[in-house]
Structure 1
Amino acid sequence: MTVNRPRIEGYAVISREGMIATADGRFPDEIRIPADHQFYQAAVDRASAVANGRHSAEGGAKAKFRHRLVLTRRVDRLVPDPGNPRVLLWNPAATPFEEAWGRLAIENGTLAVVGGTDVFELFLTIGYDTFYLTRTAASVPRGRPVFPGVGERATVEQVMARHGLALRRTRLLDPATNTVVEEWVPRAAE
């Protein structure tokens, strides 16, 4: 059986420095924006499955009912999570994405990629169909960046452009906090 590639969508909320977390990995209150949370939860509710690292998750009451790929280096093959039959523990260094997606047994569908840094980077290589980047005006200096190198040697825009993504549109999510969501797509899809 041939499994079709899913639509791959990324979702991240960042500080003005491009950070998704504090240096110790905590999701900062400064970038918790209710309008973004509502946008994000609606997106993961529509998705067929979610991909996240061991320390990232989308949360919410429905999280345990979602199909999921949890990226981890702690396994050497694709294995079911002992705590949830809808979850597969996936080491991308040992198993190709197509095999991991196929094991979820979802025909077509949408995969919502929700972080962290290394997960967002991996899917830059696999290929996003759309990356929804929520930008806040909040400051989180010296945190964990959305992509490796952001804040040190590159901007978010430079990383996205290097991987063939271009900004399609921007819309205001919350005027009170000046929070916007940007829609990044492959250049050919502009």
Structure 2
Amino acid sequence: MASKHPRIEGYAIISREGMIAEADGSFPESIKIPADQKFYQDSLERASAVANGRHSAEGGPKEAARKRIRVTRRVHRIVHDPHNPNAILWNPASASFDEAWQKLGIEDGTLAVVGGTDVFGLFLTIGYDVFYLTRARASVPHGRPVFPGVGHGMAPEEPLRKAGLVLKSTRVLDAATDTVVEEWGRA
């Protein structure tokens, strides 16, 4: 089966410091904004599949039913997930993204990348078509960054710019918490 490269969309909500999680990997309640959760879950409904790492997933009642690529170094190449018939386990060090997408059995469509840090960084090199960066005003000073290097002198948007993305639009998701979503896309 010949597989077309999917449209790749990234989704992350970050703290003021550019963090997506606490240092222990837990999701901070302070950046769990209902308006962003709705935007996120609605967006995932339109996706053909989701990509995530070991410590991240989108949650919600439909999580197990979604086609999924779980990025891991614990397997060689690509294998079916023994715990989820809708998922594959992919080691990007030993197999290409196109091979993983083909193994998932989807002809075309949209892949929603939902984290964590290393997965977001990996897809910077594979190539996002769009990245939705939601900015919460809450503080998570010593957490896990959205992209490798963020928070150590690097702003969250810097890796997006280096990957050839430009800020296309910004809109308010929740005025009460001053939460905005930025759409970063190809120039």
State TM-score, norm by structure 2.
0.98
SS at match of 1:84: coil
**Cα shift at 1:159:** 1.5
**Cα shift at 1:25:** 0.7
**Cα shift at 1:19:** 0.2
CA distance in 2, matches of 1:52, 1:182: 21
User: Which sections of structure 2, spanning at least 5 residues, go unmatched?
Assistant: none
Paired amino acid for 2:10: G
Q: Which moved more, 1:152-161 or 1:110-119?
A: 152-161
Give CA-to-partner distance per residue, 1:71-101, whole Å, 9 cap, x none.
Answer: 0000012111111111000000011000000
**Cα shift at 1:105:** 1.1
Residue in structure 1 matched with residue 84 of structure 2 by the alignment: 84
CA distance in 1, matches of 2:32, 2:149: 23
Residue 24, structure 1, aligned to residue 24, structure 2: yes
CA distance in 2, matches of 1:143, 1:102: 34
Is the contact made by 2:2 and 2:107 (CA closer than 8 Å) also made in structure 1?
Answer: no
CA distance in 1, matches of 2:91, 2:98: 12
**Cα shift at 1:163:** 1.0
SS at match of 1:100: helix
CA distance in 2, matches of 1:157, 1:103: 32
Superposition map of 1:39-188 within 5 A: 39-187=39-187
CA distance in 2, matches of 1:12, 1:113: 9
**Cα shift at 1:153:** 2.6
Give CA-to-partner distance per residue, 1:43-80, whole Å, 9 cap, x none.
Answer: 11110000000110001000000000000000012111
Count of equivalent residues? 187
CA distance in 1, matches of 2:60, 2:30: 19
State TM-score, norm by structure 1.
0.97
Percentage of pairs with the same residue: 66
**Cα shift at 1:24:** 0.9
CA distance in 2, matches of 1:81, 1:119: 18
SS at match of 2:59: coil
CA distance in 1, matches of 2:153, 2:125: 19
CA distance in 1, matches of 2:17, 2:84: 36
CA distance in 2, matches of 1:125, 1:11: 16
CA RMSD after TM alignment: 0.7
Paired amino acid for 1:31: I
CA distance in 2, matches of 1:121, 1:48: 21
**Cα shift at 1:112:** 0.2
